[in-house]
Structure 1
Amino acid sequence: MSQRVTSRNARTFPLRTRAAVLATGLGASVVLGAGVAAAADTTAAAASTTTASAVEAQAAAQAGAAKDKAEKAAKAKAAAVVKQKAAAEARNRAVAAAKKKAASWIDPVKAYRLSAKFAENGGRWAHKHSGQDFAVPSGTDVMAAHGGTVVKAGGWGAGDGPAYGNAVVIQHGNGTYSQYAHLSRIDVGVGQVVTTGQHIARSGNTGNSSGPHLHFEVRTTPDYGSAVDPAAFLRSKGVRV
């Protein structure tokens, strides 16, 4: 009896042992499989996080670049507006200055000394003096006292008589004319349009003259005999004579 039990137990033990080993192996496989799955999940999650971070970083970089571009464009536009405004203001100032210059009167010469006056008596004239004399050296720059059109130019007083020597007469608006006489040289011609301050001749001592000077008249016609006081006229236009 005892021998048969022992023999049966001996046969059963290897079976149990193999079962235990199989169970252990199966458990280990299950555990290993779970670990591998968990590791795979962790790797996938890490990869997903990394991808998301990269996408966010790229989006942030693109947004930053777009913002910088927009700011630069806005600054460039603002600078262009400022530049255009400055250019417009400069043009307006230039136009205003040109209009003011065109509308103004000036002395016909610079650095002068007033000599014979309008309506002054003297043996040098058949009648009273018809203009204002500006004592200046021969060759002094003579300028148009106001813008207009040259209607007389030449010797013999440009037709007004030999006493004037070489002369120029300019027609201005509103029935006003200016005359420049005793010139050493004439640099404009009849029909030429001149602006205020433009060079027209050189002063001299031609005609009935006792010394180099510019004889200047303001007239109501282009011809002799219609002169008004030129100094008073210039002062009425704001010129200090």
Structure 2
Amino acid sequence: MSKFAAIRNSKKAVLRNRVAVVAAGIGVTAALGAGVASAADGGLLSLTSGVGKTVSAQADAQVKAATDAKAAAAKAKLVAAKKANAWVKPVEKYVLGSTFGLAGSHWAHKHSGQDFVVPTGTPVKAVHKGTVVKAGPWGGGDGPAYGNAIVIRHDNGMYTQYAHLSAIQVHVGQWVGTGQQIGLSGSTGNSTGPHLHFEVRTGPNYGSGIEPTGFLRAHGDAV
């Protein structure tokens, strides 16, 4: 082999090696690029899936919260309606005093209501929703023996009276709700000590009273 032939063959071998190296590099790059692309696709899919699950969970939570709020509002409305239609005691803590129909020197006739013995200043509540038809001294017009008194007309045509009050906190014509505070107990009028005189009446005036504790029991609140 001549000297020039050997050199030419050597250059060809070097060129073939460079081509092989470049080809191998291209293959590695292609393979690496495919791997990166695959990894990117997988990561994006995973990220998208995670976001989707989070959004779905938030949507479910919002739907549940809205449903719960709606149920709570419906329950509150039902409780309010039930309370509005209920009958309650005129005072919370008490000792029963003189009863309805009791005879004695304290009354011109027989006792016309039920006494609830409580300290002066005890909150007095409307036993049922209605409209105030009497409010003032002298029993609101029923006579001085009652002292400061209130009479309320209720939706079933019955009336209730609250007497011997130290303070009146409503006025004639005012609508009051069940359990609403209307005054404070006291010992005004013909009274032997602090208490609330309570009557249930079939009409607005003195003389139309019926036994009040039995009436309250019949309407769902035992005294």
* Residue identity matched to 1:110: E
Structure 2 partner of 1:124: 106
Structure 2 partner of 1:38: 20
The CA distance in 2 between the partners of 1:55 and 1:100, in whole Å, is 67
Structure 2 partner of 1:207: 189
State the shift of 1:217 in Å. 0.7
* Residue identity matched to 1:60: G
Structure 1 partner of 2:34: 52
Q: TM-score, normalised by structure 1?
A: 0.85
Structure 1 runs, 4 residues or longer, greater than 4 Å off: none
The CA distance in 2 between the partners of 1:170 and 1:214, in whole Å, is 15
The CA distance in 2 between the partners of 1:235 and 1:226, in whole Å, is 19
Which shifted more, 82-91 or 68-77?
Answer: 82-91
* Residue identity matched to 2:65: K
State the shift of 1:83 in Å. 2.2
Structure 2 partner of 1:167: 149
Greater Rg by CA: 1
State the shift of 1:81 in Å. 2.3
* Residue identity matched to 1:57: A
Written as runs of structure 1 = structure 2, the 5 A alignment for 1:11-160 is 20-160=2-142
Q: Given the alignment of the two structures, is residue 178 of structure 1 paired with residue 178 of structure 2, yes or no?
A: no
SS of residue in 1 equivalent to 2:200: strand
**Which of 158, 161, 171 does residue 189 from structure 1 map onto?**
171
The CA distance in 2 between the partners of 1:47 and 1:118, in whole Å, is 105
State the shift of 1:27 in Å. 3.2
* Residue identity matched to 2:13: V
* Residue identity matched to 2:165: L
Over the matched positions of the two proteins, sequence identity in percent amounts to 46
Query: Which whole-Å deviations, capped at 9, do the CAs of 1:15-64 have from their partners, x for residues lacking one?
Result: xx6xx334434433433333222222111111111111111111112112
Q: How many residues align?
A: 223
The CA distance in 1 between the partners of 2:25 and 2:166, in whole Å, is 106
The CA distance in 2 between the partners of 1:168 and 1:124, in whole Å, is 21
* Residue identity matched to 2:125: M
Structure 1: unaligned runs, 5 residues or longer: 1-16
State the shift of 1:196 in Å. 1.7
- State the Cα RMSD in Å: 1.7
State the shift of 1:97 in Å. 2.0
* Residue identity matched to 1:190: V
SS of residue in 1 equivalent to 2:166: strand
State the shift of 1:165 in Å. 1.3
SS of residue in 2 equivalent to 1:124: coil
Q: TM-score, normalised by structure 2?
A: 0.92
* Residue identity matched to 1:237: H
Structure 1 partner of 2:221: 239
Structure 2: unaligned runs, 5 residues or longer: none
The CA distance in 2 between the partners of 1:68 and 1:213, in whole Å, is 70
Higher fraction of helix: 1
* Residue identity matched to 1:40: V
Query: Which whole-Å deviations, capped at 9, do the CAs of 1:142-172 have from their partners, x for residues lacking one?
Result: 1111122211100111111122111101111
State the shift of 1:118 in Å. 1.3
